[in-house]
Amino acid sequence: MHDYQDQKPTVLAILDAHVSMPGNLLPILHAIQDNLGYIPTEAVADIASTLHLSKAEVHGVITFYHYFRETPPGQHTIHICRAESCQSMGSKALENHAKQTLGIDYHETTADGQFSLEAVYCLGNCACSPSITIDNDVYGRVSPEKFDQLLATHQGAE
């Protein structure tokens, strides 16, 4: 399904656009993930040779940061905030509800490929906890009922 030969031109174009930028590794990884949804393992060699780094160094950077992923995400990615303010307003119950409803744990994707579930530590939306994001959209005061409504509106939607 994901053939690196199809993805490679995108990766090479990104590398090309960033060669002379100081401190370019994170911007490159972001651009790849923005375009492909994740950072394919095969891209590591291309990144490493362009930046004159070892593959281990590039891999070490990718794995250090929570945000970067090496596997394709589902259609929609849900991030649930686990930090203190959200806990004070019931995020634990929301987490349990979400895991049960989706039938998956964190870092997993539903069998139909619709939803991936990730944890996040604070979205800066603490004034309206508990908070989640679905793709790039933030939602505040998310009760289990509101969560179900949001799932329904995203189900099957692009």
Partner 1 sequence: MTRLFISRDSTAISLGAEQVVNAVKQQAAAKNLDIEIVRNGSRGLFWLEPLLEVETPTGRVAYGPVQPEDVGSLLDSGLVQGKQHALYLGNIEELAYFKNQNRLTFARVGLTDPVSLDDYLAHDGYRGLKNALVMQPAEIVKHVSDSGLRGRGGAAFPTGIKWNTVMNAPADQKYIVCNADEGDSGTFSDRMIMEGDPFVLIEGMTIAGLAVGATQGYIYLRVEYPHAGIALNQAIEAAKQHGYLGENIQNSGKTFHLEVRRGAGAYICGEETSLLESLEGKRGLVRFKPPLPAIVGLFGKPTIVNNVISLASVPIILDKGGDYYRDYGMGRSRGTLPLQLAGNIKHPGLFEVAFGMTLRELLYEYGGGTASGRPIRAVQVGGPLGAYMHPGQFDTPLDYEAFAAISSVLGHGGLVVHDDTVDMAEMARYAMEFCVEESCGKCTPCRIGSTRGVEVIDRIVAGIQKDKNTVLLRDLCDTMTFGSLCAMGGMTPFPVLSALNHFPEDFGLSPAKP
The residue range among 98-106, 107-115, 116-124, 149-157 that interacts with partner 1, by the rule CB under 8 A, is 116-124
Kindly list the distances between the CA atom of residue 125 and the CA atoms of 65, 71, 89, 103, 118, in Å, as whole numbers in the listed order: 21, 28, 12, 26, 17
Interaction pattern, residues 133-152, with ligand FES; x per rule: CB under 6 A: --------------------
For partner 1, the binding residue among 80, 115, 117, 139 (CB under 8 A) is 139
Q: Is 10 in the site for ligand FES (CB under 6 A)?
A: no
Of residues 112 and 149, the one with the C-beta less far from partner 1: 149
Structure tokens at 154: 């995203």
Q: Please count the residues of this chain forming the interface with ligand FES, following the rule CB under 6 A.
A: 12
Q: Is 27 in the site for partner 1 (CB under 8 A)?
A: yes
Task: Output the 3-class SS for 62-124.
Answer: HHHCCCCCCCCCCCEEEEEECCHHHHHCCHHHHHHHHHHHHCCCCCEECCCCCEEEEEECCCC
Q: Is 131 in the site for ligand FES (CB under 6 A)?
A: yes
φ/ψ of 148, rounded to 5, equals -60, -40
Structure tokens at 157: 């939607």
For ligand FES, the binding residue among 53, 126, 134, 151 (CB under 6 A) is 126
Binding site for ligand FES (CB under 6 A): 81, 83-86, 122-126, 129, 131
